[in-house]
Amino acid sequence: MIARLKGRVDRLGEEHAIIDVGGVGYLVFCSGRTLQQLGQVGDAAALEIETHVREDHIHLYGFAELAERDLFLVLQTVQGVGAKVALAILSALTVTDVQNAISSGDVALLTRAQGVGKRLAQRLTSELKEKMGGIAPAADGAVLTAPAGPVGAAADAVSALVNLGYRKAEAEVAVRRAKAAVGEDADVSALITAGLKALAT
């Protein structure tokens, strides 16, 4: 699984970049903010990568900082938010903006993102307060401060299972079963192992 790319910007599109790494061009989908930080064609580039594997494709999602990548994963734990909507949110708002919107219940701020209506924004504000643990510090010094714990580990385990090719709904059910089997305080590795066992039964 690709976790990081370091090379040079080969091409830039509205929603993606092609990063040349040793003569191999990687198509990477990015938020508008990350694309702006990549600079111009020919510039050196380093991106944190989230790899999504499906039956019909492999998609790479790139982020200028760990905080953005972590938030991308957390956003997708909410029903109705896939990779495209998560990137739209990260294009419209900074990591700190999202944190503030969730903390204060600012639905209007979240609806600035394309594809996010009032109902989805309300779901985001109500659900993410308990799912924001484990986010790396943002580049501007802000930190998403919701407590880390089993929920954060569960979100990471779901992401890992999705990366292995399982549907998100299947992965979420498997991780819930895993938590019941190995305990609420289990780490990511234990949840992934138990989740794979649950998917095999």
Q: What is the pLDDT of residues 88-97, one digit of tens each?
A: 999 999 988 8
Asked if 41 and 9 touch (Cβ cutoff 8 Å), the reply is yes
* 143 pLDDT above the threshold of 70: no
Closest CA to 175 of 200, 158, 197, 189: 158
d(CA 102, CA 48): 24
**At 149, is the pLDDT very low, low, confident or very high (cuts 50, 70, 90)?**
very low
pLDDT of residue 138: 57
What is the average per-residue pLDDT within 41-61? 90
Inform me whether the pLDDT recorded for 135 exceeds 80: no
Entry pTM: 0.65
